[in-house]
Each structure stands twice: as C-alpha cells, then as structure tokens.
Amino acid sequence: MIRPLAFTAVLALLSASAQAQEASPATPPPPVDPGADRLTIGVGPAVVPSYTGSDQYGIVPGIALQGQVHGLAFASQGTALWLDAIRGSGGVGWKAQAGPIAALRLDRTSRIQDSRVSGLGELRSAWEVGAWAGIQRTGVVTSPYDNVSASVSYQADVHDAHRSYVVSPSVSYSTPLSRKDYVSLSAGADWVGRGFGDYYYDISAAGAATSGLDPYDGADRAGWKDWNASLLVAHAITGDLTHGLGLFATGGYQRLLGRYARSPIVADAGSPDQWNGAVGVEWTF
C-alpha cells in the first residue's frame, strides 16, 4: 500500500535541503551532487492482517530498501521492487517517471488465523511483473524541496495463481521538515481483473462444505477492490537524512469495496477495514 518512490526521488534533494536549512552565513555548505549514489536500508517489525480482509493481525519481520544508483531511483514496497528508469536532474521542476515492477503476492499462502478461511486451503504465491509511469513536481508548497507525484502501475500474475492483473493509481506528497525529519503521505486504489477476484474472494461449493462459510461467486469480475492511504515519517539520529542512523514509522489503512467486501471471507470471517504499520531503524549511506 505504501508508495515509496516519492521518497527515493526526493533523496537527492534532501542533502541540499539539509545544508541550506542548517548552514550559517559564515559557513557556506559544501557542494552537493544531486545525482550521488545513496542507499537506505530499514529493518523492523510490521503488523499486518492475517490475509487481506481479515480482522486478525500478526507481526512479521520487515526490510525495506530505497536509494539511487547512477541517477536511477529504486525502492522496495513490502514484497515488491520498483525502479524509476528515467534519470532526473535532482532540481526544482517537473520530472517524468517510469520503470518496471516485480512483486510476490503472499495473500492466504500462510499465517491464516481464522479456522474457516484456513479450511478453504492455502493458495499459491502469485509472482507479478509489470510497469508503472507517473509525473512528479519538486518545489510545490513548503520549500524548493517538497514533492508531489501521481502515478499508475500495472502488474500481471505470471505464476499460474490468480492469472489476472492489478492496476493501481496513486498520488503522494513528501517533504523534508528539517535536515533530520521527513514525512510522506500517499493515497491510492486498486482495480483488479476478473481472475483476481475469483481466486481470492469467491468460495466454491466444495470450499463452503469444508470451511463452513457460505458459497460465493460475486467477485469473478473486474472492478475496484479497495482504496488506501498511508503515512511515512523518518527521523535521523546521527548525521542527517542523507547519511547515518535513523528511525522510521509507517501506518496504512485499506478499505475493501463492493463485491470483494461482500465475500464471506471478509463480511463473515473478517472486516473490510484493514490496518497495517511498522517501526524500525534505518541506515543511510
């Protein structure tokens, strides 16, 4: 749910922002290379639903990567990897964004806590590949360093699981509050293909008999599956946002919609309101 590329795209500007906000007139900041290579690694526990649509939660280990190499920004988002294959200047103005996505969808492959949903059996992991494109504006409201972006992504299963696709439009706003503090807000939605709804939300007569849930065939068509929103905050402990040790926290909300929310695995065994969050430490170098 969390769209990370706004953070990676603004990394190059944070160095200039940090120097500009903290330097005194007598101590001019050293030159900054907006295209310099950098990498942020974050680790920490995450709280996530047992499955998408569950009202039971568990704690899982998490790791996140964000950075840029030779002007190409990249990031991980849960079990997905994104790359912005269009190099940017790192300055104020507009920038086109586009690149590939690779993701592993593990929904209902393990950790199913509800005995009725567990009775439906575990599903195959979905390997999804696709692409995304968007537009970004740097220098919007608070300073020359804040950032707003809009994008849309397409992912298709290539591992014989749901055999369908997911289209996800999103918008985000990100800004460094100081040389040590950063915040990013994002919102989006997911449109899924017919096979996706059938695979994850429909219940066959045989599945109903083994699980005790009612049979359901209302999700085997394309439509809007959910809308979602998320927040990311980061604070540097040593150094600043461009290098050193820091802390981060994320939180997200997802609302399942329509025929997907009416599935018995959601309406009877779970909830359409989905929450997630994570805290951890990060190192930028």
CATH number listed for the domain at residues 5-284? 2.40.160.40
Give the pLDDT of residue 37.
Answer: 85
Higher pLDDT: 29 or 200? It is 200
DSSP state of 107: T
Q: Is the pLDDT of residue 14 over 50?
A: no
Q: Using an 8 Å Cβ cutoff, are 155 and 166 in contact?
A: yes
Judging by beta carbons within 10 Å of its beta carbon (0-12, 13-18, 19+), is residue 230 exposed, middle or buried?
Answer: buried
Structure tokens at 208: 């109903």
Region 72-101 average pLDDT:
89
Region 109-124 average pLDDT:
96
For the chain, what percent of residues have pLDDT higher than 70? 87
Region 8-35 average pLDDT:
46
Write out pLDDT tens, residues 42-56: 999 999 999 999 999
Give the pLDDT of residue 32.
Answer: 46
Q: Is the pLDDT of residue 1 over 50?
A: no
Closest CA to 100 of 65, 130, 72: 130
Distance of alpha carbon 280 from its chain centroid, rounded?
16
Distance CA 74, CA 99 (A): 9
Distance CA 137, CA 145 (A): 10
Write out pLDDT tens, residues 215-268: 999 999 999 999 999 999 999 999 888 889 999 999 999 999 999 999 999 999
Look at phi and psi of residue 73 and say left if phi exceeds 0, alpha if psi is from -120 to 50, else beta.
beta
Average pLDDT over all residues of the chain: 88
Q: Burial code of 6-37, b = ≥16 C-beta within 10 A, e = fewer?
A: bbbbbbbbbbbbbbebeeeeeeeeeebebeee
Write out pLDDT tens, residues 135-192: 999 898 877 888 999 999 999 999 999 999 999 999 999 999 988 999 999 999 999 9
Distance CA 100, CA 225 (A): 23
Choose from 86-90, 99-103, 173-177 the range with maximum mean pLDDT.
Answer: 99-103
Map tokens 């007139």 to a residue.
25
Consecutive H or E run containing 226: strand 223-236
235 φ/ψ angles, rounded to the nearest 5 degrees: -140, 125
Structure tokens at 50: 């047992």
The domain limits of the chain are 5-284
